[in-house]
Structure 1
């Protein structure tokens, strides 16, 4: 199937499944003060546990989906997310909530990894990149809308209502998967699952440079955006005195840039191959990151805001081109092991993003310099990672 339709029904459902991650991350951020008042300090721990679940869970769902099809593991993952969300709403202490958030992440990542695999099953490389560009609408809108929805629920009830809403969302997704999503992986593997064979499969993927190069390129760029998410509040609010409300507008403007770029990318895919667009788009975060680092060094960590904000915008907006084309390029040609490839792609990229977030957590002080340095390293790393591709595959492809 092609993704040429304006917004196919199956793609809308995959968008909802992809939204589980950002919805579960951003929606309960406004509830941190009330949550800690009720359960004790450690709200950040619950977020970290969810991240761990997201990263690790992907490695399991991919091989399972290659063996049994996409829908059975999707049933398991969404059902686990639903039950864990209900349990989170009933948690009695912060340690219990952290453990339940780990389970919620293990379930919620199923839609992310299997969504990419289903797109690969239904689309060729160019149509897959178009479909991923449409899914970037969800990834861009969720960080804007989820905190607003969480804040609205806090006005009507307490923090437990947020997890109750997530459980209802999981139930709706589970029913939609059952009634509306056709199985896309009909040629399933016959070999029994074994840890050794799974590890060998991942090892083989890591040795394939046409998979590894775009995966690392997309992961490094995504890590730079994760550094921005983790570091920009302290820089913009604490250093420059931007109010939390105005910071939301800055964050939203950058997310809007990402959305706009992803839709421009979808249009340009009618004339250019995903690999061709990816090669050129990777220059944007590299130049933006280096530019941010240079102005931070020149102004000793306190550059003018009018110079800082365009660099942040350019870096984040470029992900609208890089994310869809990197995923489509990495998954092209994977065939029957698209699930495993999607799982490894997600796990590697999320691991890089988590490392960037940890680096920002350790890099307090120095004004904008730590953030600019992290984004410069990630931008240049993304550009260099694509050089791992074999020369013939790295050459621009005709439209």
Structure 2
């Protein structure tokens, strides 16, 4: 449940805000001044902080500045009865999410809090994703096929060109997208991933573009879509070939105009997003069968990167197995196991239809089922071939 902190020297204001927010099912704490608020921020994680500007002992702007170190992920909404443009600008420069004047309009307050919560969630998701990226985005191997992909990434990443990444399932298309983002000028911005195949067709537009409260039966509150979440960064549309035709039309418009409209909304929202897409399908065949828009294909495929199947780069299998052994040992808190040469030769010769994803699963199974050294007999017994 979202947790909110109210910092205000006026008890009546604190109690009123607390009552309103608790009615919306938020957990709310209070502090009567800046130092007390900072103490609570040290002790407890808050998603949103409503902070008065004019307070004794320490004004709200100083609280905001100090909170950037103590609680950098908390979204600050500054509140003041003496609001003016200069104060609002200064608060924003110091890192405030928004600025409200007293007494705050109820609807504006609730919408601002909801949007701030969405922002806090996005920051958390982005940090989690970046941690995953740091662990998994290394491209392992030195085959000619893989080096060709690396070379393409190095050339394309610094640009804002859209990239269509193709290749079989499990070959590492997501890793290519992550490297394109990491090596781009947008690396400090968010990388937002959407698996188009995992989202029902009736929900994909809401997922991508967001929706307004009441736009459909289950839309109980406003939602920010993935395009807005990725503003200033990269949007990765995985399995783009499974996107519905109606959603394709809206994505095409967003790419043409750099603007989106939320479901149920009328306002156009400008977005600054680099779009990367991936698919395991033959999109030219999908176009011929009228399952995919040709104009969208040409918008997405400014650059094409084909990720090779693992069977096309067998010389990389020993290095991949070594990496997986180390990663799995780190996850389990054990020492990495060794692989006997004949076991390695056996694994290298197998047909890896599931590609790198299948190889990792097999290595984890072997780690669990074998002794300190994985033998050829272990590989034959547990590789599942």
Q: Which TM-score bucket, shorter chain as reference?
A: under 0.3
Structure whose residues are more often helix by fraction = 1
Which gives a bigger RCO, structure 1 or 2 (Cα 8 Å, sep 6+)? Answer: 1
Which structure's CA Rg is the greater one? 2
